[in-house]
């Protein structure tokens, strides 16, 4: 069974270009603004959209995404509203792949079977659950695959040739290569290292490899797109949200526009 993610990467391969994968946090800074941001991403140049599921203890995320999660939670965002966000997006966009990204705890609390059913009904195509290693595939990965959805795994600079086959065993959709060691959005990727590791990991998987963590500019995106199948931008977009808010943390008329303008700029880099 092919998913929207599979079809999108196949189409981009025929176009001969890399994907732009954008990450934003669900409900940041509030539900309506979040929906407006997500709804405008495809037109701005996003090929795949990752939506962060807000969580109180996001251990892999840097200050920007942590702050976004806290803003969303303070505004009343929860899992039901996150799935509603996808459902509302799907009313106007049937084609752009949606990936939910986050931690296992909120999924476990919601109930895996119910979560998979409700998220598929809403229009979710795949998942990145950062704290579920391959050894725990029975918890969520395999049920997701059986439901006809993709389970996208993270690979890092420390994913060596011995570990890679285990990491990629049940991975589908694409591989998310974490270009730096540490948390999101705090370091710039080393382009030589990215190229070497992407080429090394290709020996272990035929899946598209998308590179993220620390990508902030069109120039970086252009350089990474030469070697990778996709470029992931997250913290920079979340920071664009934060910078547009009032001192009280409320959205302004510039909030969605700021995100879409940055996506458009980076998309030009990916496409050039």
Q: Where are the domains of the chain?
A: 4-271
Catalytic residue among 6, 28, 50, 229: 50
> In the numeric block, which tokens belong to residue 239?
């920071």
pTM recorded for the entire structure:
0.96
Is the pLDDT at 179 greater than 90? The verdict is no
Lowest mean pLDDT among 87-96, 182-191, 199-208, 243-252: 182-191
User: Confidence class of residue 186 from pLDDT cuts 50, 70 and 90?
Assistant: low
Is the pLDDT at 182 greater than 90? The verdict is no
Residue 64: CB atoms within 10 Å:
22
Question: Is residue 162 within 8 Å of residue 195, measured between CB atoms?
Answer: no
Give the CATH H-level superfamily of domain 4-271.
Aldolase class I (3.20.20.70)
Is the pLDDT at 181 greater than 90? The verdict is no
pLDDT digits (tens, 9 = 90+) for 104-157: 999 999 999 999 999 999 999 999 999 999 999 999 999 999 999 999 999 999
Average pLDDT of every residue of the chain? 94
Cα(270)–Cα(267) distance, integer angstroms:
5
Q: Which letter, b or e, does each residue of 229-242 get, where b requires 16 or more Cβ atoms within 10 Å of its Cβ?
A: bbbbbbbbbbbbbb
Catalytic residue among 6, 61, 137, 229: 61
- Among this protein's residues, is 61 annotated catalytic? yes
Question: Which residue, among 72, 37, 38, has the nearest Cα to 54 in the 3D structure?
Answer: 72
Question: Is residue 234 within 8 Å of residue 65, measured between CB atoms?
Answer: yes
pLDDT digits (tens, 9 = 90+) for 216-243: 999 999 999 999 999 999 999 999 999 9
- Amino acid 184: pLDDT: 52
pLDDT digits (tens, 9 = 90+) for 67-81: 999 999 999 999 999
Is the pLDDT at 185 greater than 80? The verdict is no
């Amino acid at each position: 069974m092919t998913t929207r993610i599979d079809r999108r990467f196949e189409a981009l391969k025929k176009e001969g270009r890399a994907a732009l994968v954008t990450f934003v946090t669900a409900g940041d800074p509030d539900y309506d603004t979040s929906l407006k941001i997500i709804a405008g991403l495809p037109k701005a140049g996003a090929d795949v959209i990752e939506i962060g599921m807000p969580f109180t203890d996001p251990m892999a995320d840097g200050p920007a995404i942590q702050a976004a999660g806290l803003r969303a939670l303070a505004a009343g965002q929860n899992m039901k509203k996150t799935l509603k966000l996808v459902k509302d997006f799907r009313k106007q966009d049937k084609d752009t792949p949606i990936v939910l990204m986050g931690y296992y705890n909120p999924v476990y609390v919601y109930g895996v079977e119910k979560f998979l059913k409700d998220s598929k009904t809403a229009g979710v195509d795949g998942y990145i659950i950062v704290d579920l290693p391959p050894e725990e595939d029975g918890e969520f990965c395999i049920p997701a695959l059986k439901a006809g959805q993709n389970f996208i795994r993270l690979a890092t600079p420390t994913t060596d040739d011995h570990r890679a086959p285990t990491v990629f065993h049940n991975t589908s959709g694409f591989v998310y290569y974490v270009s730096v060691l540490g948390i999101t959005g705090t370091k710039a990727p080393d382009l030589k290292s990215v190229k070497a590791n992407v080429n090394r990991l290709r020996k272990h998987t035929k899946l598209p490899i998308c590179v993220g963590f620390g990508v902030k500019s069109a120039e970086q995106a252009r350089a990474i797109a030469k070697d990778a199948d996709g470029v992931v931008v997250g913290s920079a977009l979340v920071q664009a949200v934060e910078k547009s808010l009032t001192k009280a943390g409320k959205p302004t008329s510039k909030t969605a526009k700021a995100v879409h303008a940055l996506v458009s700029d980076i998309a030009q880099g990916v496409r050039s």
